[in-house]
Structure 1
Amino acid sequence: MTADPQNSPFIKHLASSDKLIRDSALDSLRTYLSGRSEISEIDLLKLWKGLFYCMWMQDKPLHQQHLARDLASLVEVLQQPVVLPFLDSFWKTIAREWGGIEALRMDKYLFLIRQYLNASFRYLSRQNWNNEAAIEQYAEILEETPLNVLDVKIPNGLRYHVLDIYIDELEKVGAEKLECIPLEKLLEPVRRLEGESKVKSVRNAAKETLDDDRLKAWRGEEVHKEMREGGSEDDEWGGIDD
């Protein structure tokens, strides 16, 4: 990048209320990203700072959801060597900026995180879950930032949210090929939190994720009767609909 990416016109235009301007900016960003086989970490972090504040400026709920989905779709146009560094920069940006997100703006970032966790799993699934190196690297990215065990700079609110949506998004992506999913490898960051976090509420949240009846069903284990009958799904709010 020859210019500061967070100040690029097409980044700023992503927050436009005019759909034509917004779509044109997204096309420009896709073209830019798809043409690069390598982007430095500092440039990716600058880019994500711009994208973070682009989302910050988007006020209308419907436009917020569209923008979140559009930003998550960028993963699909990236050349393979850029995908994991791009995702790593996303998580680092969210963790860094989390403390400054106002309550009225939090929902759109929670939705963006959901979209990005989903996009991450879709990236792994497009390789039929066979790319062991990518799976290992992504697990390390999760362990380093959103599901970090010990780093006090990582906000617990981010940990809780990722734990809360983890199985939901994995199910959406992998439900049709459960036998292909490297389930235990993908659950390693969650297990580390359960076993090593110094915060009891984080350990409990991780345990709740690992005790999800869907995981037991995927492994062929016995599950609660109400889960088999589908009776428990209406008893609690399932988060923001996609």
Structure 2
Amino acid sequence: MSNIQTSAFVKKLAANGMSTSTRHLLTHGRRILTSPSDRPTRTAALASLKKFLSRPVELPLLENEKLWKGLFYSMWFCDRPRPQQRLAADLGELYLSIPSQNFSKFCLAFWIVMAREWMAIDHHRLDKFLLLVRRVVFFQLKRLREEEWNETLLQGFVEALKKCPLSGDAKVSTGIPFHLIDIYADELERMMFEEIQEDEEDEEDEEKRSEIVDRTPLDELIQPFVTLSKEALLKTLREKIKTDLLADERLKKWGIVEEESKKTFTESGDEDDEGEDEDDEESDSEEEWNGFA
């Protein structure tokens, strides 16, 4: 899309019942949209955006959604792999700048926009949005860690997952929860042990890892997946959670899933569930959602 068309999109977005605050935000968003691969321009625009977002001004959910829609299209128009990787990280890092009172809404707004726009993503653009989801999840978790797992923020993060990507709602493309299942343990591990060198496996590091696991509320972070593994209408979704996440050896090592529970997760029978007919319609697409390395 040309810069003229992109500019028109942003103007339309800004005119669509938007507050002065969000119009101001999209002044910076426009620069990201029109030059997503121009690093100096994008860096300056994101710096301004972070500064504005860090102000202790509460924004309603709708304003956060409109902002994320603009940021979604900044990724849409970003063409080359390295700029895409940098932009995904930059957008994820916005969660480190958001004031506490806006964190939960900013989390939910991201998932709402992803759910609305996901089916429009063509296969040429899919990988960069899978990467964006991965980076956003990591930085959401990192913010929670930096806030020492503040109960209000943690609850907001979990509720955002339950309301949208892990709701089981038929309006949410299965590609979103499938990808989230694929990456969640990876991003939990990366977040928890970010400051420990992977090549250092001495006894002291093992003690550090154990301490980190002990102070991380892993049960709460995994609970939305456990709930969906029991309540999802689609059998493919239930089984994917059980086999690809809840049976992950890392969860067992961290003490979240005991051997007996793991066996229950992987062997429970769901043959009589009403979701099987729907599952047949979705089965052809399962292999497409293998996550983004």
Q: What per-residue deviation string (whole Å, max 9, x for no partner) do you get for residues 89-145 of structure 1?
A: 00110011001011100100000000011011111111222x222222211110111
Q: Which amino acid aligns with 1:13?
A: R
Q: Which amino acid aligns with 2:26?
A: S
Alignment CA distance shift 1:142-1:78 (3 Å)? same
- With 75-84 and 110-119 compared, the bigger mean Cα shift is at 75-84
**What's 1:172 paired with?**
190
Q: Map residues 29-48 of structure 1 onto 2, 5 A cutoff.
A: 29-48=49-68
So what's the TM-score if we normalise by structure 2?
0.72
* Unmatched 5+ stretches in structure 1: 223-237
1:198 & 1:239 partners in 2: Cα distance?
22
The SS at the match of 2:119 is: helix
**What's 2:156 paired with?**
137
Q: Map residues 188-207 of structure 1 onto 2, 5 A cutoff.
A: 188-207=223-242
RMSD: 1.9
**What's 1:68 paired with?**
88
Which of structure 1's runs of 4+ aligned residues deviate more than 6 A? none
1:103 & 1:6 partners in 2: Cα distance?
33
Shift, 1:37, TM fit: 2.6
CA contact (8 A) 1:5 1:50 kept: no
Q: Which amino acid aligns with 1:182?
A: P
CA contact (8 A) 2:130 2:291 kept: no
**What's 1:83 paired with?**
103
Shift, 1:3, TM fit: 6.4
Q: Over alpha carbons, which structure has the higher Rg? A: 2
Q: What per-residue deviation string (whole Å, max 9, x for no partner) do you get for residues 167-191 of structure 1?
A: 1100111134111111111111101
Q: Does 1:9 align with 2:27?
A: yes
Q: Does 1:57 align with 2:55?
A: no
Shift, 1:73, TM fit: 0.8
**What's 2:205 paired with?**
none
**What's 1:161 paired with?**
179
1:6 & 1:115 partners in 2: Cα distance?
25
**What's 1:26 paired with?**
46
Shift, 1:152, TM fit: 0.8
1:65 & 1:7 partners in 2: Cα distance?
22
- With 34-43 and 108-117 compared, the bigger mean Cα shift is at 34-43
CA contact (8 A) 1:11 1:29 kept: yes
CA contact (8 A) 2:89 2:135 kept: yes
2:124 & 2:28 partners in 1: Cα distance?
26
The SS at the match of 1:102 is: coil
Q: What per-residue deviation string (whole Å, max 9, x for no partner) do you get for residues 28-55 of structure 1?
A: 1112111243011111111111101111
2:155 & 2:65 partners in 1: Cα distance?
22
Shift, 1:24, TM fit: 1.1
Q: Map residues 216-231 of structure 1 onto 2, 5 A cutoff.
A: 216-219=252-255
Q: What per-residue deviation string (whole Å, max 9, x for no partner) do you get for residues 193-240 of structure 1?
A: 110111011001110211100011111967xxxxxxxxxxxxxxx954
**What's 2:5 paired with?**
none
CA contact (8 A) 2:103 2:153 kept: no
**What is the percent sequence identity of the aligned residues?**
37
CA contact (8 A) 1:87 1:120 kept: yes
2:113 & 2:171 partners in 1: Cα distance?
12
Aligned length: 224
CA contact (8 A) 1:5 1:46 kept: no
Q: Which amino acid aligns with 2:114?
A: I
So what's the TM-score if we normalise by structure 1?
0.87
1:182 & 1:32 partners in 2: Cα distance?
31
Q: Does 1:183 align with 2:187?
A: no
Alignment CA distance shift 1:46-1:6 (3 Å)? farther
